[in-house]
Amino acid sequence: MRNGEDQHPDTTSVGLGYEAAEHLGSLKLPIYETSTFVFESAKEGKRFFEQAYGEDADADAGYIYSRLDSPNLRPAEARLARWEEAEEGLLFGSGMGAITTVLLTFLRPGDQVLYSNPVYGGTSALMRGLLTEFGVECIPFSEDADPAGLADGERLAMVYVETPANPTNALFDIQASGELAHTHGARLVVDNTFLSPVWQRPIAHGADLSLHSATKYLGGHSDLTAGAVCGGRHDIAALRRTRYEIGTTPSPSTGWLLTRSLETLRLRVERQTENATRIAEFLDGHPKVTQVRHLSLLQPGDPGHDIYKRQCLGPGAMISFEIAGEEAEVFHFLDAMSVVRLATSLGGTESLASHPWTMAPPTLPAEQKLSIGVTPGLVRLSVGIENVSDLIRDLERALTAV
């Protein structure tokens, strides 16, 4: 099972990178809760350091210290890389840890980044705040803009695209973004959190790095925070070195939880997607709902339809929709639901609703939020694996409260 080169990710997800014989015959990967590892000899200690800090930060280096690496991370990293059709993968302590490590590794003062807008609030805060203060020019572009006109050929170092975008499901063209980046010798980084590799594999469309808040679908049970990046061997080696230095490494227990979760990734995401497609259909016809954005509803001629057909394998389980009314009406609706809970995360087995207008980091002024489709009436729904009739009944009842 070590290589599984000819196997499907559904198969490698339950075995790749783990040999029971190396762990007292334990069928499942044990949790190695230790801060450090004992060297058999001084010579071995020297060799492990040489491997870990060598030119290409060796992915198979011996274990030294849990801030650097742990046996609980590598199986999930290898399995995720297989899903993402990437050479290698690397885990982090949170999605923001993954994003920060990518930005710090590949950007320098004076560089330019073009980033899609909307983008997760934490990412936007980082671009507009710290990264700008460190002298990187960060320029947002929306789904109807052509970013090529914004690029400074000398300074463009990264195109950063979150697609579908949180919270509106706006789609951005991965292939075109890759061509723009590569024309200028820059990297394309794609945040693939919303669809997961079950429905989107950005590297196959020209991305250099595909990253995740693994807190969401990859973890899938709302019981961990983690991040992940997949890409080419050399880029991942550079990220591994930064992770060693800044300590954005997840704990052994987090690696263990993620390894467990990846086994059921497809089962969860397919069920969530089926539920979301039924719910989107229900909401789309409801008189108290003015607009529904779920990728299953895209029709030929709609913005994003062609991109969807080219780069996505399925519509995912994130829905955003507008309720007729203002904040007060939306709050009545949110408070009236009982199966769907009010919380800010997404991608777990349970359905969660949130109100992006008020429940996100306060990075954007009101008029900018409105211009990217984040309105006081907007609700973001992360659909879980519950019985879909129970979910629809809950939504229907809550809509009568508006």
Ligand X SMILES: Cc1ncc(COP(=O)(O)O)c(C=O)c1O
Q: Which stretch binds ligand X (CB under 6 A): 64-72, 89-97, 139-147, 375-383?
A: 89-97
Least distance (Å) from ligand X to the CB of residue 225? 5
Cα–Cα distances (Å) from 294 to 102, 167, 329, in that order, read 29, 11, 22
How near is the Cβ of 215 to ligand X at its closest, in Å?
A: 4
Asked if residue 191 binds ligand X (CB under 6 A), the reply is yes
Is 98 or 151 the residue whose CB approaches ligand X more closely? 98
Is residue 90 part of the contact set for ligand X (CB under 6 A)? Answer: no
Residue 308 annotated in active site: no
Residue 208 sits in the site that holds ligand X (CB under 6 A): no
Cβ at position 152, least distance to ligand X in Å: 26
Determine if residue 30 is left, alpha or beta; phi over 0 gives left, psi from -120 to 50 gives alpha, anything else beta. Answer: beta
Single-letter amino acid code for the residue at 45: G
120 is catalytic: yes
Residue 365: alpha-carbon gap to chain centroid: 25
Q: How many C-beta neighbours within 10 Å does residue 20 have?
A: 13
Rule CB under 6 A: is residue 197 a binding residue for ligand X?
Answer: no
> Which of the stretches 120-128, 173-181, 233-241, 359-367 binds ligand X when contact is defined by CB under 6 A?
120-128
DSSP secondary structure, 344-396, as one string: S--SSSS-EEE-TTTSS-S-S-HHHHHHTT--TTEEEEE--SS-HHHHHHHHH
Q: What are phi and psi of 181, to 5 degrees?
A: -60, -50
Question: Does 193 sit near ligand X (CB under 6 A)?
Answer: yes
By three-state DSSP, how is residue 326 classified?
coil
Distance CA 50, CA 62 (A): 10
Beta bridge partners of 137: 112
The single residue among 84, 88, 111, 162 that binds ligand X, judged by CB under 6 A, is: 162
- Do strands 378-382 and 318-323 pair parallel, antiparallel, or not at all (unpaired)? antiparallel
Helix (H, G, I), strand (E, B) or coil at 245: helix
Is 192 a residue that touches ligand X (CB under 6 A)?
no
Which of 112, 168, 215, 296 binds ligand X (CB under 6 A)? It is 215
Pick from 12, 72, 200, 213 the residue near ligand X by CB under 6 A.
213
Residue number of the CB closest to ligand X reads 95
Q: Which two tokens stand for residue 254?
A: 């987090």
Least distance from ligand X to the Cβ atom of residue 28, Å: 25
Residue with smaller CB distance to ligand X, 143 or 191:
191
Of 227, 304, 348, 377, the residue at the interface with ligand X (CB under 6 A) is: 227
Catalytic residue among 47, 58, 65, 67: 67
Q: Write out the DSSP string of 121-146.
A: HHHHHHIIIIIHHTT-EEEEE-TTS-
Comparing CB distances to ligand X, the nearer of 162 and 173 is 162
Binding status of residue 168 toward ligand X by CB under 6 A? no
Asked whether position 140 contacts ligand X by CB under 6 A, the answer is no
Strand segments (E) across 57-175: 88-92, 112-116, 137-141, 156-162
Q: Pairing state of beta strands 378-382 and 352-354?
A: antiparallel
Distance between alpha carbon 272 and the CA centroid of its chain, in Å? 16
Indicate the residue among 225 and 272 with the shorter CB distance to ligand X: 225
**Is 271 annotated as catalytic?**
no
Q: Kindly determine how many residues on this chain lie close enough to bind ligand X according to the rule CB under 6 A.
A: 15
Choosing from 18, 63, 115, 120, the catalytic residue is 120
Pick between residue 112 and residue 123 the one whose CB is nearest to ligand X: 123
277 near ligand X, judged by CB under 6 A = no
Which positions are annotated as active-site residues? 67, 120, 191, 216
Contact positions toward ligand X, by CB under 6 A? 94-96, 120, 122-123, 162, 166, 191, 193-194, 213, 215, 225, 227
